């Protein structure tokens, strides 16, 4: 089954052709990062307009690189939730148009399910198969941070074990980078700077880190970094480079420690030995090292998708869509774009008592 996936939920316009086994025939991502960088974050209206400008090219390119045509497809999958509604609508309308014109099944896909199942994507014949079910997955991106037990590839088979009560982990990377004048998005640049830094001098503590349970809070660490900068000033002078690297390393240490430790603790409490990470923050080098190390120490197997599968892409959307299509599920042309996930939530945002 050959499925075209379309993704436009945030600031990447993407299209991909994937089959139901997870093999990626093409994977095209057109990033809007430069467009939003000057504002320090995603501007929704600009995102919608840019999706509109790029979506036709991206779809055509995915078909061309996948060495296929619309006639050869078996279904069209599209992210219809959660995300910026104006941005989502662009992909949804394009997918509807293509499905109607080609008389193909249309399947709406939850973006979070895409991240959770991106570990099943294979780009080369030699790439490893994904994990067996069940597994426990940390999803950490710019908009979401939560740990899930995944029993299978459908929303009913996925349980949230804990989520952030406030900011997402990626949001914390972005806000700290903004504070330090490092530009947007913050994750990759902090990751790079932290590599040459020393985290032992400054200790940041995450509010929920010492607590049992699998909930997170990331807004406090941003304030701690802001307080540090207010007290000592932004790194400047002859040692600025070193001071900046140390600050980034300290922040990254605190953030990746809590993410990796809670992931492993959640898997342990579920009696599950397979752990997975997904979402943009899963591209972080230190997080990947920590998860690998902790898994080895506890006799667990860590499945770390390659970087291209962690950040936003349409291949993961096509894969989840293929699983729906295989089950015979279909959406009509009345498919709506919505900002809410289909996955059941347990953690309330903005809950006090940290």
Query: Does residue 91 belong to the site contacting ligand KG4 (CB under 6 A)?
Result: no
Q: Are 213 and 155 within 8 A, CB to CB?
A: no
CB of 316 to ligand KG4, least distance (A): 10
Nearer to ligand KG4, 192 or 327 (CB): 192
Of these, 130, 186, 197, 207, which contacts ligand KG4 (CB under 6 A)? 186
What is the rounded CA–CA span in Å between residue 164 and residue 352? 12
Are the C-beta atoms of residues 330 and 316 closer than 8 Å to each other?
no
**CB 194, min distance to ligand KG4, A:** 9
Q: Cα(279)–Cα(178) distance, rounded to whole angstroms? A: 20
141 binds Zn ion (CB under 5 A): yes
Please tell me the distance from the alpha carbon of residue 62 to that of residue 69, in angstroms, as a whole number. Answer: 9
Of these partners, Zn ion, ligand KG4, none, which one is at the site of residue 283 (CB under 5 to 8 Å by kind)?
ligand KG4
Strand partners for 302: 275
Give the shortest CB-140-to-ligand KG4 separation in angstroms: 8
Name the burial class of residue 226, with classes exposed (0-12), middle (13-18) and buried (19+) by CB atoms within 10 angstroms of its CB. middle
Residue 197 in the binding site for ligand KG4 (CB under 6 A): no
CB neighbours of residue 37 within 10 Å = 12
- Which position among 110, 160, 191, 246 is part of the footprint of ligand KG4 (CB under 6 A)? 191
Helix 240-270 crosses helix 219-232 at what angle (to 10 degrees)? 160
Report the nearest approach of Zn ion to the CB of residue 250 (Å). Answer: 26
Nearer to ligand KG4, 66 or 280 (CB): 280
Q: Which residue blocks in 118-239 are alpha helix, DSSP H?
A: 169-179, 186-194, 219-232
Distance of closest approach, residue 130 Cβ to ligand KG4, in angstroms: 18
The residue within the footprint of Zn ion, chosen from 105, 312, 321, 341 (CB under 5 A), is: 312
Q: Does 173 bind ligand KG4 (CB under 6 A)?
A: yes
CB of 324 closer than 8 Å to CB of 77: yes
Name the site residues for ligand KG4 (rule: CB under 6 A): 10, 141-143, 170, 173-174, 185-188, 191, 279-281, 283-284, 311-312
Name the site residues for Zn ion (rule: CB under 5 A): 141, 312
């Amino acid at each position: 089954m050959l499925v075209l996936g379309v993704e436009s939920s945030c600031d990447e316009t993407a299209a991909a052709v994937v089959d139901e086994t997870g093999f990626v025939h093409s994977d095209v991502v057109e990033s809007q990062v430069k467009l939003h960088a000057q504002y320090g974050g995603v501007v929704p209206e600009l995102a919608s307009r840019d999706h509109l400008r790029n979506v036709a090219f991206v779809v055509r390119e995915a078909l061309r690189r996948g060495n296929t045509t619309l006639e050869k497809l078996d279904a069209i999958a599209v992210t219809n939730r959660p995300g910026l509604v104006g941005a989502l609508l662009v992909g949804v309308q394009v997918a509807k148009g293509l499905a109607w014109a080609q008389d193909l099944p249309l399947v709406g896909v939850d973006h979070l399910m895409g991240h959770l199942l991106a570990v099943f994507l294979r780009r080369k014949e030699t790439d490893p198969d994904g994990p067996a079910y069940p597994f426990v997955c940390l999803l950490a991106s710019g908009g979401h941070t939560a740990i899930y037990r995944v029993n299978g590839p459908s929303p009913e088979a996925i349980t949230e074990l804990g989520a952030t009560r406030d900011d997402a982990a990626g949001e914390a990377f972005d806000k700290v980078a903004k504070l330090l004048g490092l530009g947007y998005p913050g994750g990759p640049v902090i990751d790079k700077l932290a590599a040459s830094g020393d985290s032992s001098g400054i200790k940041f503590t995450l509010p929920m880190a010492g607590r049992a349970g699998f909930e997170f809070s990331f807004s406090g660490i941003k304030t701690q970094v802001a307080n540090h900068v207010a007290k000592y000033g932004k790194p400047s002078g002859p040692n600025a480079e070193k001071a900046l690297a140390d600050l980034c390393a300290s922040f990254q240490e605190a953030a990746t420690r809590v993410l990796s430790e809670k992931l492993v603790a959640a898997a342990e409490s579920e009696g599950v030995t397979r752990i997975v990470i997904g979402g943009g923050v899963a591209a972080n080098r230190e997080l990947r090292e920590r998860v690998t190390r902790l898994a080895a120490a506890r006799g667990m197997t860590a499945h770390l998708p390659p970087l291209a599968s962690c950040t936003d892409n349409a291949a993961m959307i096509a894969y989840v869509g293929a699983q729906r299509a295989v089950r015979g599920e279909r959406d009509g042309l009345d498919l709506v774009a919505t900002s809410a996930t289909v996955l059941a939530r347990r953690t309330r945002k903005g809950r006090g008592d940290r």
